[in-house]
């Protein structure tokens, strides 16, 4: 039997999170931290600074789950209403917390700033709350309990939210329900669509195993995440073996990482250097690789040969080959990869040429036709791709598939 993980919910208040001004990152952060402790963030709700909306959201959440975390609305202005709603839920009042008031006074004195009329309101707390010092700002965190439910109030600014949560909330969660030994296994898969992948794994028997399966799709990539169910250890082992067997070389990493991370690790392990020739991707492969610090050990650089004259002048692609086959062709991709390797002084040359769209496609060479090529001095592998989607997706997919060609060159598959 599987026991479900303990659940918590998060509510964040703030008009700026609902009118587009600010991106709300609290749920991603708390969800990841909670998952790491064996908890499940089961709902994330954002409401405006409106007592009625906040009250409805808080009371209904506290009827569903054991733990509710509320972020924001603890400041000194009139739109900071969280503590009043929380006091209402607890059936008590709001009081001045003298230790916090002393901290507020000291903070202002240290900065030679005069106290204004509002600032002491940071030290108001719900009567009877356990008060958690906030060393990152002024408003403290609070812990309230009623009828076996736990309500946590945390400050809204991300640095303060995360700081107080790290200091007090996460240790509380870890102590409340110590996590069992649940195993997880990620597979980063390239070249499969999400539904094709799920269909294949289910046909191979994954759907019949007692294991949690989640899919998460990105351009040219699907993350498959397996998690053990309590008591389902054998099925988990079977599921891991099943995914490995079904997908083979399409799994570029048994971890959650973009393909460029895998490729750079493989290049570094072998002391192999790389140079690029990018046409339709226009620099995207270089941009993704150089996002990784330390990549200069393996990446020499490359040429963005968007115009054909640069293919000829900088990479030495023969004009006759361009004229005979067109820029989007197997022979041009091959010549680009060999040219990149030569002019970049690298062990491997990687090239991409294709029709990214939305215009420029023909019946013979439609939008989505892409050639990727990898030259290693002994020979050159070229692969023809038919990619779907809009321009940006075709470009991201082409970059990923090109990088994967390097991985296959290095590790086989």
Least Å distance, CB 207 to its own copies, is 8
Q: How far apart are CA 212 and CA 249, in angstroms?
A: 23
Concatenating the DSSP letter of every residue in 28-72 gives: HHHHHHHHHTT-EEEEEEEE-S-HHHHHHHHHHHHHH-SEEEEES
Q: Toward its own copies, which CB reaches closer, 358 or 413?
A: 358
Q: How many CB atoms lie within 10 A of CB 394?
A: 26
Q: Toward its own copies, which CB reaches closer, 177 or 411?
A: 177
Q: Toward its own copies, which CB reaches closer, 244 or 386?
A: 386
Least Å distance, CB 241 to its own copies, is 21
Least Å distance, CB 128 to its own copies, is 25
Strand partners, 95: 125
Q: How far apart are CA 34 and CA 120, in angstroms?
A: 33
Strand partners, 228: 211
Least Å distance, CB 195 to its own copies, is 4
Q: Toward its own copies, which CB reaches closer, 146 or 159?
A: 159
Least Å distance, CB 379 to its own copies, is 24
Q: Toward its own copies, which CB reaches closer, 35 or 381?
A: 35
Q: Toward its own copies, which CB reaches closer, 48 or 326?
A: 48
Q: How far apart are CA 407 and CA 268, in angstroms?
A: 12
User: What element of type H or E holds 7?
Assistant: strand 7-13
Contacts of 77 (CB under 8 A, 6+ apart): 118
Is the bond preceding residue 358 a cis peptide, omega within 30 degrees?
yes
Q: Toward its own copies, which CB reaches closer, 51 or 76?
A: 76
Least Å distance, CB 284 to its own copies, is 4
Concatenating the DSSP letter of every residue in 113-165 gives: PPP-SSGGGGGEEETTPEEEP-TTSSSPEEEEEETTEEEEEE-SSHHHHHHHI
Q: How far apart are CA 164 and CA 168, in angstroms?
A: 6
Least Å distance, CB 137 to its own copies, is 7
């Amino acid at each position: 039997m599987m026991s479900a993980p303990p659940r918590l919910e998060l509510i964040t208040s703030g008009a700026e999170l609902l009118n587009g001004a600010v991106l709300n990152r609290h749920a991603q952060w708390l969800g990841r931290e909670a998952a790491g402790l064996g908890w499940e963030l089961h709902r994330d709700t954002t409401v405006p600074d409106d007592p009625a909306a906040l009250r409805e959201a808080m009371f209904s959440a506290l009827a569903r789950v054991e733990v509710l975390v509320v972020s924001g609305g603890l400041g000194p202005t009139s739109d900071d209403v969280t503590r009043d709603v929380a006091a209402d839920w607890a059936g008590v009042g709001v009081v001045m917390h003298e230790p916090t008031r002393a901290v507020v006074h000291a903070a202002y004195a240290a900065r030679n700033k005069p106290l204004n009329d509002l600032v002491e309101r940071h030290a108001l707390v719900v009567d009877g709350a356990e008060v958690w010092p906030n060393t990152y700002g002024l408003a403290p965190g609070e812990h309230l309990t009623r009828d076996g439910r736990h309500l946590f109030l945390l400050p809204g600014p991300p640095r303060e939210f995360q700081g107080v949560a790290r200091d007090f909330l996460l240790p509380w969660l870890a102590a409340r329900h110590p996590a069992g030994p649940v195993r997880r296994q990620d597979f980063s898969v390239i070249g499969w669509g999400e539904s094709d992948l799920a269909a294949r794994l289910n046909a191979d028997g994954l759907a019949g195993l007692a294991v949690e399966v989640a899919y998460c799709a990105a351009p040219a990539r699907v993350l498959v995440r397996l998690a053990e169910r309590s008591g389902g250890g054998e099925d988990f082992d079977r599921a891991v073996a099943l995914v490995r067997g079904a997908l083979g070389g399409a799994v570029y990493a048994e971890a959650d990482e973009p393909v460029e991370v895998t490729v750079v690790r493989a290049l570094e392990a072998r002391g192999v250097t790389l140079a690029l020739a990018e046409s339709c991707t226009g620099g995207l492969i270089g941009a993704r690789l150089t996002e990784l610090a330390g990549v200069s050990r393996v990446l020499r650089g490359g040429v963005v040969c968007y115009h054909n004259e640069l293919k000829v002048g900088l990479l030495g692609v023969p004009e006759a080959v361009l004229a005979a086959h067109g820029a989007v062709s197997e022979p041009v991709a091959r010549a680009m990869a060999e040219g990149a390797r030569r002019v970049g002084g690298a062990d491997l040359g990687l090239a991409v040429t294709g029709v990214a769209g939305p215009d420029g496609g023909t019946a013979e060479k439609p939008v989505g036709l892409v050639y990727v090529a990898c030259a290693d001095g002994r020979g050159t592998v070229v692969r023809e791709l038919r990619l779907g989607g809009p321009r940006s997706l075709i470009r991201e997919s082409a970059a990923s598939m090109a990088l994967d060609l390097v991985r296959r060159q290095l590790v086989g598959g």
